[in-house]
Amino acid sequence: MPLSLDIAVESWPVAGAFTISRGSRTEATVVVATISDGTHAGRGECVPYPRYEETVDSVVEQMRGVDLDTIDREELRRRLPAGAARNALDCALWDLGAKQSGKPVSMSCGHIVARPVETAFTLSLGTPSDMADAAHRASEHHILKLKLGGQGDAERVRAVRAAVPRTRLIVDANEAWSEKNIIDNMRACAEAHVELIEQPLPAGDDELLRSIPHVAPICADESLHTLADLDGLSGKYDAVNVKLDKAGGLTEALEIVWEARARGYLVMVGCMLATSLAMAPAVILAQAADIVDLDGPLLLARDRHPAITYVGTLIEPPLPELWG
């Protein structure tokens, strides 16, 4: 029986608002691809991201242009560029294969044993006092990730560290730092014992990272999408943030992780603001990560059912009913 594709666009409310250097959001818009053989169905969720020139319409159009009856995951990588559309289809194909075979995805991608992993918890960009208050409320999390915005970031880092003196901290500037403030901001991170600094400078304008001391590992996010991007990171970055939506699915993301490790990079597995369906394949990827940032559903007002289970600071592997 030929495969069929169903595409659904969904909006999920954020618990309050989610703010980074590029703006604030009160809902997460996701696109879900469901591929069915008439008996079994596999799903994949993606997040169209304007920073990468994606819209809901462009992602849906890319999905609809794929002939599923003549394609597998490797052919999908050749036909579609890395990005949200390919991610949803790739993850749906992984899920469909698991449903058809009764064999978990984790066993089909290198015999990975899926175990609970500890995830960071993200604090939205805000004033130093607001972020300090949020850090205090979230102090049960062992790792906090601070969204930063450029001007005033040194004060934000110091305020959060004062509020949670023993919590592990990582920071994400989302390309908001510049030559004028990066040294002061990095000095504040060093004083606060920040463990990772994510994408401080804009992608394509980050050569300065070769010539300044790295007070903590510097992690490429917007500067890394696919396996081919690893070649341009040497000397600038110490770590990479692998996300399924950037890589274009679990198939490519697995290769990035293995190759990054072989080249000596620390590996972070991250996510977009999305539901448990998007986190599920990333949990498989996270088994090989040094730092995990898969808290997307914790930032939403509600999640889909069944959902990923969070136990304290741990994220459990997905149930087959959800994915994989």
At how many degrees (to 10) do helices 182-191 and 153-163 cross?
A: 10
Establish whether 243 is a catalytic residue.
yes
- Tell me what pLDDT residue 4 has: 96
The span from the CA of 255 to the CA of 233, in Å, is 16
Catalytic residue among 99, 145, 147, 246: 147
3-class secondary structure, 72: coil
The pTM is what? 0.96
- Would you call 99 a catalytic residue per the annotation? no
Secondary structure (3-state) at 224:
coil
Q: CA 63 to CA 315: how far, in whole Å?
A: 30
DSSP-assigned states of every residue in 98-165: HHHH---HHHHSS------EE--EEE----HHHHHHHHHHTTTSSEEEEE--STTHHHHHHHHHHH-T
Residue 300 DSSP one-character state: B
Closest by CA position to 143, among listed 122, 120, 160: 120
The active-site residue out of 99, 145, 243, 246 is 243
CA distance 99 to 40: 6
What's the pLDDT at 29? 98
Mean pLDDT by 10 residues, the chain (324 residues): 94 94 93 97 97 97 92 93 98 97 89 90 98 97 97 97 98 97 98 98 96 97 98 97 98 97 98 98 96 98 97 94 97
Domains of the chain in start order, with CATH, are 4-102 (3.30.390.10), 117-315 (3.20.20.120)
State residue 266's pLDDT score: 98
**pLDDT given for residue 295 in this prediction:** 97
